[in-house]
Structure 1
Amino acid sequence: MKKLALTVFFDTLLLICLGLIIVLTASSTISAIKFSNSLYLFNSHLIRVLIALVAMIGFSFIPYEIYKSVSKPLILFAVGLLIFTLLFAPEIKGAGRWLSIAGITFQPADIAKFLLIIHLSAMLEKKSDYLYDFRNAFVPMFIWVVGIAGLILIQPNISNGLLIIAIALTMMFVGGIHFKHIFLSSATMALSGGAIAMIFSHSRQRILSFINSIINGGDMNLQVKQALVSLGSGGLLGVGIGNSKQNNLFLPEAYGDFIFAILGEQLGFIGSVAVILFYLVLFIAGILIAKKAQDKFGQLLAFGITFSIAIYAFVNIAVATGTFPTTGLPLPFISYGGTSIIFLSMGIGILINIAIMNSKKSKVVENDLSDKKISEK
């Protein structure tokens, strides 16, 4: 388990360092034009990265069992924070998703997702003896999922809301909830989420544009078109670090949601595949930690954290390659951002702690068995 913890740590560190390099190159032009300082956005990202690394190391030393006892207050805090966001968040580009407190700007959806994973893990362990019971097991969990996701969907933040539902329902399935309940709720939530997405103009436009580009060969939106140009320009080996042309204001959000396209342009197909493999290694290591954990809470918490990182990476890369409609979701550990990288790093710290704590538990069990064999002889 300690080897898995080290794998997770160094794999994440590598992704973060790579992100620093790509953010530096992708943000220099817009920083120079907008802020008269080519390092402005990079410096801002660097501060967040340092906070994220401190958070990762700090949370790796906190025994993960603590979160189980405070999961209810934490999820109530998440609900309160999301309601506060709906009431007081300033509207930016047609959505109120961000809060600014004491000069620190953050997205409450990132916090809510993190706390929902903790609470669902605690509930699934607590109700492990009657998980097939629809009313006493499934419904209480589903209410929390609907509450958190619903408050995020109506911000509107469709992509984050839908992915939180996907993560929650997958955790519930893995945790032992009856598949029939999962399937029916998934279908209902998918239809509801689709309906909400079509109500808001920006999400409706993205979806219809994506469908039109597939069925009728219509033009993709500007970001996707320029992202594909960027990826295609990279070829097999890339144009080299710092030699991207698309980051010169051709590709909007080059340092954020579409950073994978800039990465592909600079590092080429081989570099892009290598980054995908880093995420795959992180996913496999996280799943192994979940599998080897000796308590259900640890298993589900490790799985939830790992799966959430993997699905966000998958969706971001799918958007950058034109496979999915534009979502506005960051690439984990690489995209420019604040709360995303900080809370992802907290999750990695918890994942590392699960591996370390269960490694110690395994040694205790082994020593007890060894002492028992000796005493029997």
Structure 2
Amino acid sequence: MSTTLHRYAAFGAALFIGAAGLSACGANDDQSGDGGDSASGGDKTIALLLPESKTTRYEAFDRPLFEAKVKELCSDCGDVLYYNADQDEAKQSQQVDTAISEGASVLVLDPVNGAGAGGMVQTAQDAGAEVIAYDRLIKEADYYMSFDNETVGKMQAQALVDAMGDKGGILMLNGSPDDPNAAQFKAGAHSVLDASGVEILEEYDNPDWSPENAQKFVTDMLSKYDPEQINGVYAANDGQAGGVVAALTGGGFAADALPPITGQDAELAAIQRIIAGEQSMTIYKPIPIEAEKAAEVAVALANSEDVGDTTDYEGVPSFIFDPIVVTSDNVADTVVADEFYSAADICTDEYADACTAAGLS
């Protein structure tokens, strides 16, 4: 097996244009029964199973980009069978069974619980299907693809420490304990934070990554700590960062005097908060790189073709991609330059002045 890492620096605008109009709103409206939609395509049927829709990336980007790339590469694959588990592990197991019964020969599976997904993978493999673990590691899968998750945590924590000046107290909001990626983000962040001069006042593992849980946690902490004790917030993703901002501004912090707050996923609202100075940074993981590569590998497997060079990640043939830190200084050079968002998307009336100051308009 080759140990060459697959690194991709940019992606095309064409697929995004097709996807940009989609949103997480109505994410499961076109699903029925166990959540599947689309017709099967015989031996070349491909299924995409995503874990939840509270994180906007899945419905707005991963799904449409994956489906478009499969359609481009494989005219006889039929429509992709699509399922969203809504953060329900039992539901996802049923969806795997449904995908197999519908004839899927390749499953691209982003598990609700990676550590507990081995049974689903075994079921698929016993039926003759191959499984690509998408974005979250499943050690029993045939292939895995994701971004370098520990590096994501390190980048977030280092940005926070740098913004704070190596001192002060922070609140730490991690992702779901059932999400193997969350454990990797957390481990990477701790490797930096524990060696720094910052003090972790309280730490919280958010069971479903929800902004509402994050807001409640920080609101509770504001009744326990004086505001001046909270000098920074590690938020593992942008949804939680939004909850943090809501809690802090609702608890007496001025919007222009918030402590440094991290994030991840480069959500549009987070980019706007960064431009406005309410969030310090986010991690940009160019999703088309991941979604399109997953589609390429899935089509290759459906056609019994070579998937190309991989690297070994915890015993699984893998494709690992590089994350990027986004701050107000490089919004134009990252998400805008890659046409992930346009300046017009970001620079609504509310953010017009901030965009002008950042050189976006």
TM-score (norm 2): 0.30
Structure number with higher helix proportion: 1
Structure number with higher strand proportion: 2
* Structure index of larger Rg: 1
Instruction: Return the structure number with greater relative CO, CA threshold 8 A, min gap 6.
Output: 1
TM-score (norm 1): 0.29
